[in-house]
Chains A and B, each alone.
Chain A
Amino acid sequence: MKVSKEVVEQVAELSQLNIPENEINDVIESLNQVLALVEEMQSVDTTDVPVMANPLDATQTLRADKVTEPDQRGRFQEIAPDARDGLYVVPRVVE
């Protein structure tokens, strides 16, 4: 299958990436190359094959309900692009 410009733009929006107008054709082209590469697997008969989301056919171990994490706000916010009064700051969000 080949992707259209519309699909690529929609996927870029979902991914929160800008694609400059002068690059869009290259992006479409290389996405189509990748899709052509992966197309091969469509020939595989996977009827009744269960998906394999993880190599381990194992099950989740659970953590005891204990508070183990101390307050490290100072350390974490030291590396934040913009933190004020203990809050992470972003341009105004209108709900």
Chain B
Amino acid sequence: MHKLSIAEQRQCLQRGDFSALELTQHYLARLETGGALNAFITTTPELAISQAKRVDAARINPGRAPDTTPLGGIPIAHKDIFCTEGIRTSAGSRMLDNFIAPYNATVVDKLNDAGAITLGKTNMDEFAMGSSNENSYYGAVKNPWDPARVPGGSSGGSAAAVAARLCAASTGTDTGGSIRQPAAFCGITGIKPTYGRVSRWGMIAYASSLDQGGPLARSAEDAALMLSVMAGYDPRDSTSIDTAVPDYRGALNNSIKGLKIGLCSQYMENIDIATERSLFEAVKVFESLGAIISDVELSNTRHAIPAYYVIAPAECSANLSRYDGVRFGYRCEAPADLKDLYKRSRTEAFGKEVKQRILVGSFALSAGYYDAYYRKAQQVRRLIKQGFIAAFQQVDVLLTPTTPGPAFKLGEKTNDPIAMYLQDVYTIASNLAGIPALSFPSNPHGGLPTGLQLMGNYLDEATLLNVAHQFQQQTSWHKLSPAWEAP
């Protein structure tokens, strides 16, 4: 059952080949055996079973309207950054280890309403800060393709869970590549939508102007099904876009004949040979489908990492001030006074990388440095956006590698934060500009997946999913499952 795509599972459920409860129990059993990957922080079997029973009741009961929910009975997992009412929502941090969210994120509500089953909450880098999932209070996640390697981050648990078929799809968030980089490392498809396309309500903030939720799934088609549910205007999020959600699935089969795909030399510096080869293989596939390939200049791209590592820490330094040990979350033992309460609670409960980013952010915003750092970065950001706007006047989508190389070994970069930051060299610019970007699996190398990235114009998720789906109709890389899977 877990080998089926979401669309296939839906068909089986509707035909009655198996029930939602059977499907859910099947995945719950897999979760048990998949524990070694450490992909989950919390599993929610009771909730999953009760949700599955509700879906079945709606389906079987005569007289009731047939189940027309788009994801009725599909078992999924939520990144532990989305608040889930009555369930611990930790953001991968000791700070929120005891935080039982009193409300649902809008994304969680929407998926619940669509009939999706919640299997649990996936592991992640603490407060979404990291590119390897090694910054989690709950320990590193292992890459199901090679347990000695990282799954990527920060949505590492979500990516590993989908790759290992522990859930049909999962939710993730992407601030600088946190959906796409783990999707690439784990051989799955993930999309970071346009900033504002998916509500941020109930999604624990890292960097508010960059954070965006999106799905991680096995294929572009599954991602389209998930995104159709997750996307949409939310009056509780002021930065949410009030534009109707298009029919992503309906657009999957559009012909891409004549579609203009741009390649960009700035996105090919420092990539390894395998990644480069897979990129040009993909170009051939797209050419065979009638797409027109051309070169595009994005000269400001190299400024994306510097701008990001000012803006994201600046916003995070304020976003994480609410964790003060007063109203929720971790409080240190026996504080001597208020300052001690603040400092010790925060120092004890935040991990090293989180503290580092808070310090960088406070510095970049402080008197005397604001103009040279924060303000400058926000100006550079506009130049990056302008570069994309110009590029999309020439081409419909941009095709680039998602990462410079495949998944690296656990511990390999933990002592070199800068090397870790450079993991996001191709993914960060789209967060700064707010444009949508998707990662899909390409030809693996040495048993490890590689991923390619498609970037598109504002609100043009449909085209990205369409292009990826057309590629996946010609290739089967997305159907590969990791060795871990082999019985």
Contacts and interface: CB of A to CB of B under 8 A. Distances in A.
Do A and B touch directly, given a CB cutoff of 8 Å in the complex? yes
A44 interface: yes
A4 B260 CA distance: 50
Contact of B209 (A49, A53, A80): A53
Given A11-B363, A51-B382, A18 B343 contact: yes
18 contacts: A10-B366, A14-B366, A18-B344, A31-B359, A33-B418, A34-B356, A34-B418, A37-B421, A41-B380, A46-B376, A52-B379, A52-B381, A78-B100, A81-B328, A81-B330, A82-B331, A90-B338, A90-B341
Contacts of A10: 366
Contacts of B90: none
Contacts of B381: 51-52
B306 interface: yes
Nearest to B208: A54
A38 B310 contact: yes
A48 B335 CA distance: 49
A63 interface: yes
Interface string A12-29: 101111100000000100
Given A79-B328, A81-B326, A88-B326, A56 B239 contact: yes
Contacts of A33: 417-418
Interface string B340-362: 11111011001000011011101
Interface residues of A, number: 50
B106 to A, nearest CB: 15
Tell which of B310, B366, B379 has the most Cβ of chain A within 10 Å.
Answer: B379
Contacts of A15: 317, 346, 355, 358-359, 362
Contacts of A58: 196, 239, 241
B408 interface: no
A75 B328 CA distance: 11
A44 B375 CA distance: 13
Contacts of B247: none
A7 B435 CA distance: 36
A27 to B, nearest CB: 7
Given A40-B305, A80-B326, 12 more contacts: A14-B362, A15-B362, A31-B356, A41-B306, A41-B377, A50-B382, A52-B378, A52-B382, A54-B209, A56-B196, A58-B196, A91-B338
A5 to B, nearest CB: 13
A88 B363 contact: no
Contacts of B360: 31, 34-35
B486 interface: no
Interface string B293-310: 000000010110111011
Contacts of B366: 10-11, 14
B469 interface: no
A49 to B, nearest CB: 4
Contacts of A53: 209, 378
A92 interface: yes
A2 to B, nearest CB: 12
B303 A16 contact: no
Nearest to B310: A38
Nearest to B373: A38
Contacts of A31: 356, 359-360, 363
